[in-house]
Chain A
Amino acid sequence: MKERYFSTFQLILLALFAALIVVAKIALRLPLQLSGHSGVFWMAIVIVAAGVVPKVGAASLVGLTSGLIAAFLGLGDFGALNTFLSYTMVGVGTDLALLLLGRAPENLVVAALAATFGHFCKFLVKWGLGALTGAPVGFIALGLAKAIVGYLVFGALGGLLGALTLRALRRAGFFSYLAEKK
């Protein structure tokens, strides 16, 4: 029998990370009033997911699943399609960047860069759909350059947080535990 790309255990883990993103998005409210500030926890979770399940497509699957959950829960101000695409592209962008950077999400530079890339993909979706449909997009009103900087900085911070979490998990023996579970 052909072995499946993701094991059931890995799929459950990735689904839990996806749910965690949505829960975090609902529950954590940082009073920063800056575009993209949710990227701090969002990208941290995506990077941790990509580290815990070290396979190409893991981050994309987390993005896709969280996008589906968020769209069905009615999150976001610009409709289900916008929400679904932006959540999904966070994962796809992170995966592409990790693919280029050699899949080493515990490396601080790699994690920060991959997370910045993934988070900027979310910005691209929001900006692109806003430009195509003419819908008012909050960050345009706040200033495009400021919004871009916000997305890049908070994405990078999230990536750093994710990499540090992965390092802490490794020190705690979590990856040895995971190896037994596969």
Chain B
Amino acid sequence: MSQRTRILIAVGVLALLVAAVLVIEALRGSSVEPTLAPGAIPIYRDGKLEAGFVPDDLAALEEASFVDAEEGKTQQGWLLRDILLLYVRENKLKPDTRIVVTSSSRGKAAELTWAEVADPAHWVMFDLSGRGTLKLVSTLERLDVRDEWVQDVDKIEIDPKP
């Protein structure tokens, strides 16, 4: 075997090893589900856990606020759009993508579309309650009064399976 052939074989073996590492790592990355920190709010997409966050994680986001029409109080927190885009690529969200925000302790849920969530005029956002839990508020007609808000949110689902 010539030296040139030996060198080519060595380079080929090296390239194969590098490719194997990258492929295995890519497969591992796609199969490992993120773990939830205690108290974190999970975000599911198509039934699979995509990420989880605690209110402290949102400190880096720009805050938003509006005055609600019912009580005239300022609702201050973070837009749901900004939170979702922290964990989900925007190209995965179509205007008709359903987003369900749930509070299991209150037995309440709000179903929205990405078009509604993404429109800043609707102020679809989380207000941080005094207890440190998140409350979904908005100026949307079906979410603009206290009874319609979703307090103590503990789950967000994107395109949940029916």
Contact residues of A with B, CB < 8 Å?
Answer: 97, 100-102, 109-110, 113-114, 116-117, 120, 123-124, 127, 131, 144-145, 148, 152
The answer to whether B17 touches A124, judged by C-beta atoms less than 8 angstroms apart, is: yes
A113 near B3 (CB under 8 angstroms)? no
Is A97's CB under 8 angstroms from B22's CB? no
Task: Name the one of B13, B18, B28 contacting A148, with C-beta atoms under 8 angstroms.
Answer: B18
B6 and A117 contacting across the interface, CB-CB below 8 Å: no
State whether the Cβ of B10 lies closer than 8 Å to any Cβ in chain A.
yes
Whether A100 contacts B10 by the Cβ 8 Å rule is yes
Interface of chain B, main secondary structure: helix
Could you pull out 13 A-B pairs where Cβ atoms are within 8 angstroms?
A100-B10, A101-B10, A102-B6, A113-B14, A114-B10, A117-B13, A120-B14, A120-B17, A123-B21, A124-B21, A131-B24, A144-B22, A148-B21
Q: Would A113 and B21 count as touching, CB distance under 8 A?
A: no
Q: A124-B17, A144-B22, A145-B22 are in contact. Are A117 and B10 (CB under 8 A)?
A: yes
| Residues of B68-82 whose CB lies within 8 A of A | none
> Would you call B21 and A127 a contact (CB within 8 A)?
yes
Residues on A with C-beta less than 8 A from B24 are 131
Q: How many A-B residue pairs have CB under 8 A?
A: 42
Q: Is the CB of B7 within 8 A of A101?
A: yes
Residues of B within 8 A of A127 (CB): 21, 25
- A89 CA / B22 CA spacing, docked (Å): 20
- In angstroms, Cα B24 to Cα A2, docked, is 47
Known: A144-B25, A148-B21. 7 other contacts (CB 8 A): A109-B7, A110-B7, A116-B14, A124-B21, A127-B21, A145-B22, A148-B18
B67 at the interface (CB under 8 A from A): no
Q: What residues of chain B lie closer than 8 Å to A124, measured between beta carbons?
A: 17, 21
Residues of B within 8 A of A131 (CB): 24-25, 28
Q: Give B contacts to A, CB under 8 Å.
A: 3, 6-7, 9-11, 13-14, 17-18, 21-22, 24-25, 28
Report the separation of the CA atoms of residues A144 and B46 in the bound assembly, to the nearest whole angstrom.
28
Closest B residue to A109 by beta carbon equals B7
- Which of chain B's residues have a CB closer than 8 A to the CB of A97? 10
A101 touches B17 (CB 8 A): no
With beta carbons under 8 angstroms apart, the residue of B6, B21, B25 that contacts A101 is B6
- With a cutoff of 8 Å between Cβ atoms, the chain A residues found around residue B13 in the complex are 117
Residues of B within 8 A of A152 (CB): 14, 18
In angstroms, Cα B11 to Cα A131, docked, is 25
| Bound-state Cα–Cα, A126 to B28, Å | 16
**CB-CB < 8 A to B14: which residues of A?**
113, 116-117, 120, 152
Contacts of A117 in B (CB 8 A): 10, 13-14
CA distance A130 to B17 in the complex (A): 17
| Cα-based distance from A138 to B24 in the complex (angstroms) | 18
Chain A residue contacts of B11, Cβ below 8 A: 113
Output the least CB separation between B60 and chain A (Å): 19
Q: Give CA–CA (A127, B28) in the complex, Å.
A: 12
Chain A: CB-nearest residue to B21 = A127
Known contacts A131-B28, A145-B22, A113 near B17 by CB under 8 Å: no
Known A120-B14, A131-B28; contact A100-B21, beta-carbon cutoff 8 A: no
User: What is the minimal beta-carbon distance from B19 to any residue of chain A, in angstroms?
Assistant: 10
